[in-house]
Amino acid sequence: MKKDDLDCFLLETSAFGELWGPNKKDGKFLYSKLEDRSELYLGNEIPMIPPKKLFQPPTFDMFHFSEKESSPNYDWIKNRVLFGIHPCDIHGLLILDKFFSQSPADPYWTKSREKTIIVGYSCIPCESCLCKSTNTDIVHEGFDLFFTDLEDYYLVWVGSSVGDDMTRVKQGIFDEKVEKEDIKKYFEWRKQRDSCFVKDFDFKNLPDMMELSYSSKVWDGFGDKCLSCGQCTMVCPTCNCYDAWDQIDLSVEFKGSRVRRWDSCMFGDYSLVAGGQNFRGKRPDRLKLWYTHKLRAYEAEAGKPGRPGCVGCGRCIRTCPVDINVQTVSEALFTGEVPK
C-alpha cells in the first residue's frame, strides 16, 4: 500500500470500530482513542503503558449487584481498531491471551479482545529495546494486519479473515502483487533494523541460570536497592495482577459494584494474608518471584512450559529509578555482582 493511501485506509476503518493508537497529547505519549486521524503517531517510540490497559483497564467495575441480583458490566468494551502496535507488544498480548483464556476464562479480557482489531506496525529499535534477544522482534500471529514501513510504501501482512476484509473495503488501495524488488527491499530493511540494536542479554541461557541462582546473594543486593514502587510491573506488557473489592452504597438500598484494580507483586502488602502472615514480606523475595516469572517460566502456568514472560520491550529499563531491570539482573546473575 502506498503511504499516500494511509489516510484513506484509516478513514475506512470506521466501519470496523473506533480508531485507537499511539499518540502524543498534552505532553503524554499513550495508547488512546483518536479523535482525528492526524493524532496517530507512527514511529519507533512506544507508549510507556502497554496496550494491556485497553483490555484490562487499571480500574473498572466488574459487575453491579443488589440483594436480589447481579449483572456484569461490559459498558466500557467497544468495537475498536488498534493501529500502530509494535511486535513486542503483540507478543505481550499473545502471552496474556493464553493466561486469561485458562478455564474459567476471564470474560472481560476475552470480550474486549474479540472486539478489538489489531493492526501492527514495524519499528526501528530504540536504545533500550531488547526484543532481538527475546526473539520477539518479529511476529507471525496475533494481528489482523501488519504494516512494514519500506520508505514510500507499506508491505502489508494479512493475519486473519477480518484483516483480509479490511484490505477490500476500498478498491485500489492495496496491490496484491509482491514483486522481486519488494522482497529484496524487505529483507534489506530487516538487515538494517537488526544492526540498530545496541543492547542485548543472554536470554537463551537465563532459565537455567535462574534455576541455579535461586539462592544467590545477588537478590539481597537488588533488594537493598529496590524501592518497591511497582513501576516495573505497571509498565510490563505481561504483568496481570489485580485486586478486587466490593464498593457498597447504603444510602438508599443495599447495592454496589465489584471493583477491579491493577496490583503489583512488588508491593509490600501483596502477599499479606489474614493473621498478619506475609509470604513475601522481604523485597529480595518479591524481586526473585517477579524475575523468575519474566526470565524463566512464566507461561508454564498458561499451558506452554518454559517460555519466559519478557518480550524485550525495554520499558523496565526506562522506568526503574534505581536501575533494576531484566538486563542488569541477568548480567548480575552471570557475574555474581550487583551494579552500584
pLDDT tens-digit map of 187-232: 999 999 999 999 998 888 888 898 899 899 999 999 999 999 999 9
Identify whether residues 177 and 215 lie together within a single domain. no
Residue pair 98/299 in contact (Cβ under 8 Å)? The answer is yes
Number of CB atoms found within 10 A of residue 8's CB: 14
pLDDT in tens, 247-306: 998 777 789 999 999 999 999 999 999 999 998 999 999 999 999 888 886 655 544 555
pLDDT at residue 37 above 70? yes
Identify whether residues 45 and 133 lie together within a single domain. yes
> What CA–CA distance (Å, rounded) separates 153 from 41?
17
Identify whether residues 60 and 148 lie together within a single domain. yes
For 111-120, 139-148, 227-236, 269-278, which range has the lowest pLDDT when averaged over its residues? 269-278
Identify whether residues 133 and 258 lie together within a single domain. no
- The residue from 133, 164, 194 where one domain ends is 194
- Classify 32 as helix, strand or coil: strand
> What CA–CA distance (Å, rounded) separates 22 from 4?
20
Q: Virtual CA dihedral for 7, 13, 19, 22, nearest 10 degrees?
A: -50
As a whole-number percent, the residues of the chain with pLDDT over 90 amount to: 78
Number of CB atoms found within 10 A of residue 333's CB: 22
This prediction's pTM: 0.94
Q: For position 302, what pLDDT does the model report?
A: 47
Q: Virtual CA dihedral for 102, 106, 94, 261, nearest 10 degrees?
A: -130
Number of domains in the chain: 2
Q: Is residue 289 part of a domain?
A: yes
Identify whether residues 176 and 289 lie together within a single domain. no
Identify whether residues 176 and 29 lie together within a single domain. yes
Q: How confident is the model at residue 307 (pLDDT cuts 50, 70, 90)?
A: low
pLDDT at residue 242 above 80? yes
pLDDT in tens, 62-100: 999 988 899 999 999 999 999 999 999 999 999 999 889
Identify whether residues 83 and 16 lie together within a single domain. yes
Please give the residue range of the domain that contains residue 285.
206-335
Q: How confident is the model at residue 17 (pLDDT cuts 50, 70, 90)?
A: very high
